Amino acid sequence: MPGIFKSFVFFFQNNPLRYMRKGVVSIFSWTVLLGGILSGSAFSQDAQGTPIISGFITKSGTHLLVNGQEFRAVGYNYDWLGSGCSGPSDSQLDTVFAQIHNASKGNIVRVAFFQGGDNASTFTTFDRFVSYAKKYNLYILPILVNEWTNCEPSSTMKYLSWYQSGYTQQNDGYPLSFHDYAVKVAQHYANEPTIAWYQLVNEPDGRNPNNSCSETTAESALFNFAHNMVEAIKQVDHNHMVDLGAISWCGGQGSDFQRVNSGTVDLCDVYHGYKTGSLPFPPQLQSRLAACKALNKPSFIGEVGICAEGVTTTGQCPGGTVTEATLQQRAALFDNNLQTAFNNGVAGYVIWNKNDNPTSKGWSIGTGDPTENILSKYAIGGMISPPGAP
């Protein structure tokens, strides 16, 4: 019992009352904190009873938490690592991560950690991302495989059979099956709090090779795939959460989205959108957010892109001239989208995208883009350094 109160006193001494709003303490925040301390989940202790602050992202119901405090994940998608996708230089990493932290007050970066980019399971390239993220107090959200062919050695997307059994086999042009690769990644990063959580697949889709959809069969395959992979990862990594990925189409239609996410996955990627930038709360987002809320799990938006040249309804940027007016228009749209999402209970929002080009063009948010200032309004919480850390 004395150790619990030492943890409690330490928190009050080392954390400002971040949740004071107009003189009123957030009851949720302190309830979660006290509950976490009493259950031993907010702080662990060393042999001397000194609190050890982990910085791992956890959850309570539909909320994300860090060290017992509410955490809102805001940031950008960035360069992917995989087959034919070598990623940025150290200088580029340093520059972009500094911008995300300083200009946008972002706290999370979603990137691909595909098997083709892991340097023969040494993970040295991935570790560079983690090192620079740590420098700028950012979390890395790694995607472990792609539904599509981008940055993958395969010339075809992943079909129903892959989710049924292919993920356990060495048939993707890699030395390891996806199952074994994901477990190896989790072993490598099990004690690394800079990893936010793992995303199994970018936009999973259980369609047939002829592009038809056997919805019931696909739903079952996606559910079982997610369940088996979460179980395998958590056997070697007890610190990180896992999400399946935003289901592209087949297997996650209608109420099946809730069913697929009802198992062992910890949170839901509820929306990826490029055609509805001027529509802050599209029907699919509404439906999937409601489904994840019904499961009492956190939801986040993994990708939303709005063109620098102007709004598109085709999913492709129109080209043309980027002006201050078009950038301000995009920033205003993101502001409305972010506010609407968080007002409706989303726990995270990741914009598409930051890249190594400092100029805003297409989907990219360049240096000094007004969207950076907009994003900075929405971050809540962050990693807390242990005592004695710089």
- Measured CA to CA, the distance from residue 374 to residue 273 in angstroms comes to 19
**H runs (alpha helix) in the chain:** 2-14, 27-39, 90-102, 124-135, 160-164, 178-189, 215-236, 256-260, 283-294, 324-343, 370-375
8 shares a domain with 118: no
Together in a domain, 43 and 76: no
Looking at the 3D structure of the chain, how many domains does it have?
Answer: 2
Quick one: 216 exposed, middle or buried, by C-beta within 10 A (0-12, 13-18, 19+)?
exposed
Judgement on whether residues 26 and 159 belong to the same structural domain of the protein: no
Residue 59 located in a structural domain:
no
Note whether 168 and 298 are same-domain residues: yes
- Residue 31's pLDDT band (boundaries 50, 70, 90)? very low
Containing domain of residue 30, as a range? 2-52
User: pLDDT category, 5, cuts 50, 70, 90?
Assistant: very low
Query: φ and ψ at 48, to 5 degrees?
Result: -90, 0
What are the two backbone dihedrals, phi and then psi, of residue 221, each rounded to the nearest 5 degrees? -65, -45
Burial of 311 (0-12, 13-18, 19+ CB in 10 A): middle
| One domain, residues 153 and 242 | yes
Q: List the one residue out of 390, 383, 378, 301 whose CA is nearest residue 69.
A: 383
**Residue 372 and residue 74: Cα distance in Å, rounded?**
11
d(CA 206, CA 74): 29
Residue 3 has pLDDT above 80, yes or no: no
- The answer to whether 38 and 4 have CB atoms below 8 angstroms apart is yes
pTM of the model: 0.86
CB atoms within 10 A of CB 332: 15
Q: What is d(CA 113, CA 166) in angstroms, rounded to the nearest whole number?
A: 19
Q: Are 265 and 243 a contacting pair, CB within 8 Å?
A: yes
In the chain, % helix, strand, coil (3-state, to 5) comes to: 35, 15, 50
Residue 360 half-sphere exposure toward CB, CA atoms < 13 A: 25
* 386 domain residue, yes or no: no
What does the alpha-carbon distance between residue 50 and residue 260 come to, in Å, rounded to a whole number?
41
91 in any annotated domain: yes
Please report whether residue 102 resides in a domain. Answer: yes
In a domain, 7, yes or no: yes
Same domain membership, residue 145 and residue 12: no
Residue 336 falls inside a structural domain? yes
Q: Are 121 and 21 found together in one domain?
A: no
Under the banding of pLDDT at 50, 70 and 90, the label for residue 127 is very high
76 and 46 together in one domain? no
Query: Which of residues 232 and 12 earns the better pLDDT score?
Result: 232
Query: What does the pLDDT look like over 269-326, one tens digit per residue?
Result: 999 999 877 789 999 999 999 999 999 999 999 999 999 998 877 778 888 899 999 9
Greatest Cα pair distance in the chain: 65
Over residues 216-229, the pLDDT tens digits come to 999 999 999 999 99
Dist CA 217 CA 231 (whole Å): 21
Asked whether residue 153 falls in the same domain as residue 292, the answer is yes
Residue 64 lies in a domain: no
Instruction: For residue 184, tell me if it sits in a domain.
Output: yes
Instruction: Report the distance separating Cα 198 and Cα 212, nearest Å.
Output: 29
Higher per-residue pLDDT: 128 or 172: 128
User: Taking 50 as the threshold, does the pLDDT of residue 98 lie above it?
Assistant: yes
- Pick the range with the lowest mean pLDDT from 11-20, 232-241, 326-335, 368-377: 11-20
- pLDDT mean over 45-64: 68
Do 182 and 143 share a structural domain? yes
Residues 263 and 347 reside in one and the same domain: yes
Most confidently modeled of 114-123, 276-285, 305-314, 337-346? Answer: 337-346
One domain for residues 248 and 325: yes
Amino acid 303 reads E
Mean pLDDT within 152-161 = 95
- The CATH number that applies at residue 226 is 3.20.20.80
Cα 111 from Cα 80, distance rounded (Å): 5
